[in-house]
Structure 1
């Protein structure tokens, strides 16, 4: 679809008519909910004319595939759907839950549902999931989550597999007091706009509009309006801590982005004044950028470390408190039955609270790691602790440290250590850091475990020591190759990449008077080549 055509006509947006609080038909007969308000906001900032139509979800999927509607405003992304649909960056995270009547047998593993009658929404993500992974499950297909929960509450069938938040919302709205979620929510998936795979241009407009709303804070306002109260009612007081850390990270990235924009403008001004001094002035601007960035990072890193240190210190204390008080709460539970704490049944809180604390601790540790990377990048002087280093030994240690990541990523990992290699003069720990970054990047580039990673050390010339790391992954577009080592540039922003790993690695190699180069073919793989100069005396000694 051409951009001019898209902008000149009404875009038909579909959704589920009974999936509160995300999307539903309200008492006035109008589309309503988080997704609906978000779509109208995207349309406003992008200047699009949209028509929102809600109906039974399975019918909406069929209408999307038939071209009767252009985009759906909320679809769970999954492997089963990735080939048929294209997905925008998510605007929510949706978990699934198993609901059962009070007193039913608890379910701790989805395989326990095989042979049971499980109610699922026709065409929903759980329908796709069971059809793919549990072909022997007895599925009862219904048109909406509300119908699934009513059937279960009326005594029909064994369980209902529905989205967690809509299930809780509908259970309270419909006063279905004899059913409850059992076990922890599972199968958390990204949830957002989706089109057919061949309609990427339209999807890009929604992605851009969503990005604008996120940057202006409008998307968060809409999220808090519809989903914030529900999350609060689930009794998770630590949510505010997560919000604070997210705001701090956002402020840091925004400040760094402003610094980079300012320096790019300065570079253009210097280049305009004189072409004769172009190269020299670019170097001066780059040095100024690094100095400014170093001062900024040092100050901001200190400010972030203080609250993150409090989290890392206090969360284990909360965990110990929970461990100490749990026997008392369990004894009360055994004597008096289920009771509520912070708005949640104790039986549910007992299962979910430890995982919540672990998730928060992991998030705090990730913040600390990001800050450490920033401090490494902004370090003013190289580490002067240089000595003779055996590249083969450093590589072997790096491989041992990331062995788990390698085994999870590929079934074909090969390493060849060159014989009689001379030592290089450098810092072994810093070179190890570079090798770990390159190996992890190679693992993340693989699309399945059948693809391979190969590493080889050798002498490329009589005085040049080399290490090459090759993967058969997705490859890198030519336009991105020159920017791989730029600070904060990453092709994995949605997966949590910070864009600091390769920039830090490049700086370390420069400190060792070496070179780090990349070659890549999209769809076939990438090769990272490290080279170090060794003296004639060292090379002949071996």
Structure 2
């Protein structure tokens, strides 16, 4: 089972950051394959959990002589939700490995997966990923990969995963073995030997705690290993209990709390969603401050309007009806003022974001072409010389990851571009540009050609019906096309599957003297409480899938510029009908 899980990680079918998903998916398989070769302890008996006494922040003996760390808190939480009694037994890593083999302990709470170890051990799905680094004294020449350590004296702690990996790479004579990572770093700091290979988080933790200020990591994340629970081969019943508990902790959010407590604050900086949010906040906070000032100013305006209204009521009784109308529209005026201020701000921010994002959109395709050109060279070397290290990771693992990473970067940059364009459209002045008499059928057909690939990938049942003899309307063809594109894309996105349909029809309502464009979908529908908010800026029910909440608000602004109306009819699970009406100009005699 452990080999199966690792294969998924290395094949690229489950990304490394998808540890949580792997736990949930593989637990059921572990449970099915469990058997009674290693029966669970009887009621009242404890499961003996082994751990390394000096591997902070994962597991260690604290100043009070008690087990502590990420692994310990995780094991205690699993024991609590599964109703298992556990007893911790800590020692040197070599002692704990031997104790497991001799059945003096039942399970190791933190052990890195490897093919060699899987011959004698069974592994749970990984509960985290451990990144290993190369440490050196500040004056030492830096290296970037494990291969560059050949001919150097390298310190590792005995029986650890890096000891085993370096032995497989033929480093046996160069290795200096210590019982703990702390001893390895102390030796290096004292001026002995050349480099030490230690897990990144324990290394940085020990450098800080032991004040080894002359040591630095010269190569970060040269190897990344899956960190799991491990039992003797065949003891899958116990392993399945711990895997089930781990899955429960992930679902309840308790795992995240434990992870953040011990590992989140110690992780090295990397480009993550959290980091992106941090830098996004640096831009948004000033905007929110300015928006708050705008709100205060709007409230002042509100009070002034009320005072003026009272004066008018006293002067002329006949104006009461107009004053009542004014009161009904005050909130709309205030909101319009807010949006005008926000639009001005957005235009400036969009320009600043577009500049660096344009560089990304220009450079990422170049990087993809470079990789494509170099791919054949990498493959030739792989075929002739076997696996080799690329960016600190074996090429066999990276060959599928690099194109995915580049594609994700390009998709992300395109996503930023789309959001910025939506913001710019939202901030556009309320004018329809150059107006002329336009053929609505032609504008609709142009819009559908633009999004034809999306329509074909979303539904197998799309129909468009065009009424003959439609009178022309006065407006901007490109702006009308933009509205049609938004409405049809929304309809496609609402479909639960390609077997549901979307239809579009044009027509002329003689009584109202308007040209009508109607878009119907057989999608999931819209909840009644959401209908009044559909055209509000930044309101969306699709934020998890990338919605910005600007498409319909921009469309509503365009329709208003043309003197038209936009009407929605929908209910959950019954589909949605959107009717766009555009006035026909009066004939001039």
Deviation string 1:106-163 (CA, Å, 9 cap, x unpaired) is: xxxxxxxxxxxxxxxxxxxxxxxxxxxxxxxxxxxxx999999678854599x99966
RMSD value, Cα: 4.9
C-alpha displacement at 1:367, in angstroms? 0.7
Aligned-pair CA distance for 1:53: 3.1
Is 1:320 paired with 2:344? Answer: no
| Deviation sequence 1:479-524 (CA, Å, 0-9, x none) | 2211111111111122211111111111111111111122221222
TM-aligned CA distance change 1:517 to 1:505, over 3 Å: same
Distance 1:390 1:366, change over 3 A: same
2:556: which partner in 1? Answer: 506
Distance 2:260 2:515 in 1: 52
- In the alignment, the residues of structure 2 paired with residue 149 and residue 350 of structure 1 have an alpha-carbon distance, to the nearest angstrom, of 21
Q: Distance in 2 between matches of 1:220 and 1:485?
A: 39
The corresponding residue for 1:294 is 343
Determine if the alignment matches structure 1 residue 402 to structure 2 residue 451: yes
| Conservation of the 8 A alpha-carbon contact between 2:473 and 2:583 | yes
- What does 1:75-154 align with in structure 2 at a 5 Å threshold? 153-154=117-118
* Distance in 1, Cα, partners of 2:560 & 2:108: 60
User: What residue number does 1:484 align with?
Assistant: 534
Query: Secondary structure of the residue that 1:470 maps to in structure 2?
Result: strand
Residues 381 and 420 from structure 1, CA distance in 2 versus in 1: closer, same or farther, beyond 3 angstroms?
same
Residue 126 of structure 1 is matched in structure 2 by none
Where does structure 1 lack aligned partners over 5 or more consecutive residues? 1-13, 19-23, 38-50, 69-142, 182-190, 196-202, 233-238
Q: Is the 8 A contact 2:298 2:337 kept in 1?
A: no
Aligned length: 391
2:483 aligned with 1:434 = yes
SS at match of 2:553: helix
Deviations 1:171-226 (A, max 9, x none): 98597758x99xxxxxxxxx99887xxxxxxx8xx79xx9xx9xxxx998977447
In structure 1, what is the equivalent of residue 544 of structure 2? 494
Give the Cα–Cα distance (whole angstroms) in 2 for the partners of residues 459 and 253 of structure 1.
45
Question: After the TM superposition, which of the residue ranges 383-392 and 497-506 deviates more from structure 2?
Answer: 383-392
Cα deviation, residue 354, structure 1: 2.2
Once the two structures are superposed, the pairs formed by residues 290-369 of structure 1 within 5 Å of their partners are 290-369=339-418
CA contact (8 A) 2:71 2:110 kept: no
Distance in 2 between residues matched to 1:311 and 1:156, nearest whole Å: 48
Q: CA deviation at 1:393?
A: 1.9
**1:127-276 mapped onto 2 (5 Å cutoff):** 153-155=117-119, 224-225=264-265, 228-229=267-268, 240=271, 246-257=277-288, 263=294, 267=298, 270-271=301-302, 274=306, 276=323
Q: C-alpha separation between the residues in 1 aligned to 2:272 and 2:360?
A: 8
* Whole-angstrom distance in 2 between the partners of 1:34 and 1:148: 13
Q: Which runs of 5+ in 2 are unaligned?
A: 1-22, 28-46, 50-56, 85-106, 133-158, 169-222, 225-246, 310-322
* Cα distance, 1:374 vs structure 2: 0.8
Distance between the aligned counterparts of 1:35 and 1:454, measured in 2?
A: 59
Bigger Cα Rg:
2
Q: Does 1:54 align with 2:78?
A: yes
Q: Give the Å deviation of 1:530.
A: 0.6
Choose 448-457 or 503-512, whichever is displaced more: 448-457
**Whole-angstrom CA distance in 2 between matches of 1:291 and 1:317:** 39
Structure 1 position 469 matched with structure 2 position 519 = yes
Does the residue aligned with 1:482 lie in a helix, a strand or coil? helix
Tell me, in whole angstroms, the C-alpha distance in 1 between the residues paired with 2:248 and 2:428: 40
User: What is the CA–CA distance in structure 2 between the aligned matches of 1:152 and 1:353, rounded to whole Å?
Assistant: 27
Q: 1:267 to 1:152 in 2, by over 3 A?
A: farther
Q: Partners in 2 of 1:278 and 1:36 — Cα distance?
A: 60
The alpha-carbon distance between structure 1 residues 394 and 254, as it changes in their structure 2 partners (threshold 3 A), is farther
Q: CA separation in 2, counterparts of 1:404 and 1:243?
A: 34
Give the TM-score normalised by the residue count of structure 2. 0.55
Alpha-carbon offset, residue 283 of structure 1: 4.7
Distance of aligned partners of 1:515 and 1:150 in 2 relative to their CA distance in 1, 3 Å threshold: same
**Inter-CA distance 388–363: structure 2 relative to 1 (3 Å threshold):** same
Distance of aligned partners of 1:431 and 1:268 in 2 relative to their CA distance in 1, 3 Å threshold: same
Cα distance in 2 between the residues matched to 1:247 and 1:168: 23
Q: Taking structure 1 as the reference length, what is the TM-score of the superposition?
A: 0.59
Aligned: 1:517 with 2:567: yes
- SS of aligned partner of 1:537: coil
